[in-house]
Amino acid sequence: MKKQFYSHIVKTESVVIKLHELGLAEEEKESLIALMDSSLHHAILDAILSELSQADKNLFLDALARDDHDEVWKFLKSKIDGIEDKIQKAAEELTKELHEDIKGVA
């Protein structure tokens, strides 16, 4: 997984461990992990963008495109109260759904 600006907040190891326990081929696990990473990224971006004005969305996406994590955090903290908690909540909700999906397959 590419290091994202939120990587220090979001933990997905529990889902990866459960995927390994399913006995899937390595290629299948890698595909599912990539799908999880993508879904997580989209859920977090959705949580952030829903809090920003249109002008601020553009500024945020510009900073994100430059991959400047310090700039992204500085911007988000100036615009959204409790941004770390909101990111963590979005990640936890998706992680919970993924665990339920895995449990349904196992």
Q: Read off the pLDDT of residues 64-78 as tens digits, 9 standing for 90 and up.
A: 999 999 999 999 999
The burial class, CB within 10 Å (0-12 / 13-18 / 19+), for 1 is middle
Q: State if pTM tops 0.75.
A: yes
Do 15 and 98 touch, CB atoms closer than 8 A? yes
| 50-77 mean pLDDT | 96
Do 20 and 97 touch, CB atoms closer than 8 A? no
